Amino acid sequence: MASVHDFGRRKFPRAELLFSSARRNWSGMAAEIRNHPAGEIPPPVPQQMEITLALRGAEGARVQRRASGELQDTAVRRGTVWLCPIGVVEDSIRITDDLQDVLHIYIGREVFADMSRDLSRPVAPEEIAYRADVDDDFLRQVGFRVQAELEQESSAGRLLVDSLTRALAAHLVSLYAGERRPPPGDVSLDRNRLRRVIDYINDNIESELLLAELSDIACLSVHHFARAFRSAMGVPPHRFISSLRVERAQDLLLHSDFSLAEIAHACRFSSQSTFTRAFRRHVGVSPGEFRRGAK
């Protein structure tokens, strides 16, 4: 996703970068949180879908932008959403006052190509509407979850982002690209397929696990797998895997002499601090306290 981050740097050369997914190895999506100074923004032609979410309001501030003869003049409140689809040539973008904590999510063209293959029909991301002040709680909540992942990386963050990317793309195509399409029929995981998926997760818990791999094992499209897994297990795949990794870490803390850093690495946490936060969230104590209490 380096080219996506290159786009962010080109589009926002004067904006302060606070958080970035550039080194997270996310697939299909990239994200940034920036502070924007007042002024004009050079408008390059995007080669990815851009979703912008104001994480903080700014009294009196407005974003004024124009594309294809349409002028949009939007007050900036917490939760304000803008859409800029692939290929839209914006004539101008102007920010009237300084803005803090603005989230930019970029979804690559390849995600929509994957959707076309899954649905056996073409999906044209260029047909998504150029919109401002979008009243869409789903987009807001996904944006806030991406913000949380940027600010504090979780053990299954890459899998979570993979799922959110595809859900976002499907949502945008369904609601903002022409007529609204009904959701697909219910898809379920029978016991045998669910067991194959769980066995694979357990066998590879110390490896990087991707949603596409798990959906292949379940013989479902990626879009349907996450929903079917949650229906069967009561939690989404990334949360299930995160819990298993914490359980694996507990076992290593009790039955090995590995250091906390080694256990964090073995259980696929990005750092010891990320491991400690996730462990405390699941168990209620830090890894060190857990190990000392077991002696």
| Total number of domains in the chain | 3
Tokens 């063209």 map to which residue?
Answer: 109
- Residues 125, 209 share a domain: no
pLDDT computed for residue 222 by the predictor = 73
pLDDT computed for residue 155 by the predictor = 78
For residue 186, being part of any structural domain is answered with: no
- Please say whether the beta carbons of 168 and 136 come within 8 A: no
Max mean pLDDT among 139-143, 243-247, 257-261, 273-277 falls in 139-143
Pick the closest to residue 37 from 21, 66, 61 (CA basis): 61
For residue 239, being part of any structural domain is answered with: no
- Residues 161, 123 share a domain: yes
> pLDDT at residue 232 above 70?
yes
In this structure, the strands spanning 70-75 and 16-20 are unpaired
- Residues 221, 120 share a domain: no
Q: Estimate to the nearest angstrom the gap between the alpha carbon of 144 and the chain centroid.
A: 10
Q: In what order do the strands lie in the sheet with 90-95?
A: 39-40, 90-95, 62-67, 70-75
State how far the Cα of 269 lies from the Cα of 290, in Å rounded to an integer.
18
- Residues 116, 31 share a domain: yes
For residue 101, being part of any structural domain is answered with: yes
State how far the Cα of 110 lies from the Cα of 3, in Å rounded to an integer.
13
DSSP 215: H
Output the domain CATH number for residue 254.
1.10.10.60
**Which tokens go with 275?**
């491991």
For residue 240, being part of any structural domain is answered with: no
- Residues 221, 84 share a domain: no
State how far the Cα of 209 lies from the Cα of 241, in Å rounded to an integer.
9
For residue 185, being part of any structural domain is answered with: no
- Residues 256, 134 share a domain: no
**Which tokens go with 203?**
């066998």
- Residues 230, 171 share a domain: no
Report the mean per-residue pLDDT for the chain.
Answer: 85
Strand-pair partners of 93:
65
pLDDT computed for residue 178 by the predictor = 62
For residue 53, being part of any structural domain is answered with: yes
Residue 34 lies in domain: 2-176
Output the domain CATH number for residue 124.
2.60.120.10
- Please say whether the beta carbons of 95 and 138 come within 8 A: no
Residue pLDDT, tens place only, 49-88: 999 999 999 999 999 998 877 889 999 999 999 999 988 8
Looking at the chain, the whole-number percentage of residues with pLDDT higher than 90 is 36
For residue 252, being part of any structural domain is answered with: yes
For residue 184, being part of any structural domain is answered with: no
